[in-house]
Amino acid sequence: MIEQDLRDKILASPEVILEDRDLMKALIAANERAMGANVIDLRGIAMERLEGRLDRLEDTHRSVIAAAYENLAGTNLIHRAILQMLDPFGFEEFLLNLSTEVAQTLRVESIRLVLESPQREADPAIDRLGGVLQVVEPGFVADYVAGGRNVPLRTVTLRRALPGTALYGELSPRIASEALMRLDFGRGRLPGMLVMGSEDPEHFKPTQGTDLLAFFAAVFERTMRRWLS
């Protein structure tokens, strides 16, 4: 028998039992045992299926909310990095800021600007930039993005870092994933590429969205056109 105090509490607030999923399952199971093995409780079966659908909907709801927060956080990072990128007034300062403050904001270990040029003689100005600017032969960008495969070239490519790459200088052995953003500087100019490298192999993955990085690359591209004009 139920103690009188407990019985009075249940009668006073029956919704407490209805809102407790585990308690309701126990009561339904007890009711099924009382009915016997030769009775099929269709209502109980329907309830179990509804509970399963509710669990899946709740999981989907949590996943959608988590993705929305992640997208919002990523958008804020990109916006902050763009504002930092637009601060400098000189070209050298612009590039050095890219490899320091902007890289820290985007939480990557390295950012490199790759420019194709038919003339690759040594330039003291490039040496002062600490490796952030890499001058390569024409055709390098397309070959590097393709990675030896016959695939269509996209504006933004996310992948594991290629073994043996020297783009990141001393950091190259530690870079595990990279984001490649192809740059178009206008008619009559050779293409370029903005490269971000991370030590985390999961930081840049092909399954991730690229809209934010494409926007970042578009702003960078237009800023570079001003310096190259």
Single out the residue of 220, 85, 208 nearest to residue 157, CA to CA.
208
Is residue 35 a part of any domain in this protein?
no
Q: How many residues does the chain have?
A: 229
Is residue 44 a part of any domain in this protein?
no
Is residue 196 a part of any domain in this protein?
yes
Domain count, the chain: 1
Most confident of 35-39, 47-51, 196-200: 196-200
Is residue 40 a part of any domain in this protein?
no
Grade residue 32 by pLDDT with cuts at 50, 70 and 90: low
Is residue 175 a part of any domain in this protein?
yes
Is residue 185 a part of any domain in this protein?
yes
Letter string b/e over residues 189-210, b meaning 16 or more CB atoms within 10 A of that residue's CB: ebbbbbbbbbeeeebbeeeeeb
pLDDT of 165 = 83
The CATH number given to whatever domain includes residue 216 is 3.30.450.40
Is there a contact between 98 and 113 (Cβ–Cβ < 8 Å)?
A: yes
Is residue 70 a part of any domain in this protein?
no
Is residue 110 a part of any domain in this protein?
yes
**pLDDT tens per residue across span 126-147:** 656 668 888 889 999 999 998 8
Rounded to the nearest angstrom, the gap between the alpha carbon of residue 39 and the centroid of all alpha carbons in its chain is 53
Boundaries of domain holding 152: 83-228
Query: In whole numbers, what is the pLDDT of the chain averaged over residues?
Result: 82
| Partners of 115 in the β-ladder | 135, 192
**pLDDT tens per residue across span 69-122:** 777 777 888 999 999 998 888 888 888 888 889 999 999 999 999 999 887 665
pLDDT of 160 = 92
